[in-house]
Structure 1
Amino acid sequence: MKKERIVISVCVLNLNPCYDHWVIIEKESPIPNVLRGDKVVKLVDGKGLNIGRVFNTLGFKDYLCLNIVGGEVGKIIESGSRKEGIKSKFFWIEEENRINTAVVFEYEKRMIMINEPGPHITNLEINKFISFFQQNLKEDDKLIISGSAPQRFESYHLMELINFAKKKNCEIDVDIGGTWLKEIVESSPPDILKINSDELKVAFDIDIKETSKVNEFRKKNHIKELIITHGKEGSWGFFDEILIKATPKKIFSDYSVGSGDSFFAGYLYGKEKKFPLEECLKIATACGIANTLHYGAAIFNKQDFKDQLKNVEIKKVVL
């Protein structure tokens, strides 16, 4: 049987996928130190897979997630991705992927998220993964870099991937935090950078409300589109000579795990469809809100998304 060729325009790096286990507790337990779940949600996770899940919901199929997987959990991630129809390829390592556990105390409107550290990757596995990546990235693709990586996968390894992509004339779109964020921006600026306002302050000591400083930062680092999410206040998009603000009219829940990934996927979807910038931000914000309607990351449906499009207010400001 002839193997189907996967045609893509968007390559999504998912270096540190995981399996999520959500336990929802609806009422306080009468037994001390014993929690009994009322509902359970299980799903494959990782920023790249979440982006793929939202792409599927919106009807966009020209993408491919490249995942690093290992062990029995890796098998679950592979099986779950295929079951959901998330277009993926898998690079196998020796150590096992992580399991993340969320305990939702619904009666108190709070939750605890427990994230495992994830696997270690060897130098040999890193070199083989770089070759795997180079074989799958095509000329003029868009490369989406989102989330963390296995332990021992260093920033210079990531820069090697980025530099290869730039030689292939690929657009680089980034949603990443920590030390990697600053290094990427200063060494090899992305075309699109999506960060939250806290990351902007910690990494670059810039407050989102200092719009002139934010725009100077964008220009200085040659970032074409700088998208900053600001919690319940929505998102701010900084572009050439214009600032676009997208604000939710109504917030339905404080459960925001996966909202950033859903937002980024919505924005990238709008870009792929060549929609105006304000429409891209509107779609992104609607996806972020829709994500809060259900437990688990990026598992809203098309109707949730359509309903929330009406819940987004757009405002343009000339810089």
Structure 2
Amino acid sequence: MNTKELIFELCCAMGVSGREEPALSVAEKFLSDYTDDIKISNGSLMAVCGNKNSDKTILLDAHIDRIGFMVTEINENGFVKVSPCGGIDARTLADTLLCLQHNPDITGVVCCMPPHLSDGKEDKAMPTDKIWVDFGLPYDEVSKLISFGDMLTFASKPANLLNGRIVAPCLDNRCGVASLVKCAELLKDNETDYKVIILLSSQEETFGTGAKTGAFTVEADESIVVDVSFASQPDVSGFYSSIELNKGPMICISSILNKEMSKSLESVAKNKNIPYQLEPIAGRTGTNADHITISGKGVKTAVVSIPQRYMHTQNEVISVADVDNTAKLIAEYIKCGGAFND
């Protein structure tokens, strides 16, 4: 399976947080090549792979929802007011093209003040409670097409950059989903000590519902959460200035994560010549691991992140090689029996 084509198809799917169905259909299509045990419930997908008779279960989680907007008002002139559904970088919103989730052919542009008419007060990031969208229609027409509660998201499309990089909306976290699909491909026809459950979870960007309920349902012995984290770019200082694209996935080291799992992932990467980087976080990770670690009686959990630039915008950037290496790292960890194989 071509990794870039997989990522592009996933990123073209709708699936705003709470309305994940279109993306789940795409993911199910790809995962069905590697398992016939797939269930979709409450906006999340679970696929069972590996040794289905094992009494040892590892949960692999990647959230499948994307950020977007919900329609909250339509004024008398046909302008549509929306509220963010998930974290939006408001600095990038002015003049952004958005589309309706249920009909992507209907597009509108986020209203913005021309600089010629501005007194300078509009030069700051747009307040999220003042986002209006222009669909080019009067009230009578727009109200026939758009209703309260409808979801919108970025209309930008995936594209190639140079040097193996790609740009797309919702690479957070469709690239993580792609890595788990690739992991399922690598595990196919391999004997493993684990029952492997892939959870493509809902609503991470809003409440973490899919990870909370999914982890409670599975009661796994271990879990690996795959998400994105920050890569270096101009003017970034501190630790993340050292994280590079195309240098491998980031293995998180955190006080809430299982130390043995993080060490084992690092050892596997070294032994299998898989490039990797370390990401130390003193407390919460900001990923679904924060929910899964405290699910039920507690789950030993690790986090592997794909380096990304321009997070929570319409044009996020990653290296395709980092997705492949994330899949390899997790697959090899599972093949080696994990951190508790004695």
TM-score by length of 2: 0.29
Higher relative contact order (CA 8 A, sep 6+): 2
Structure with higher Rg: it is 2
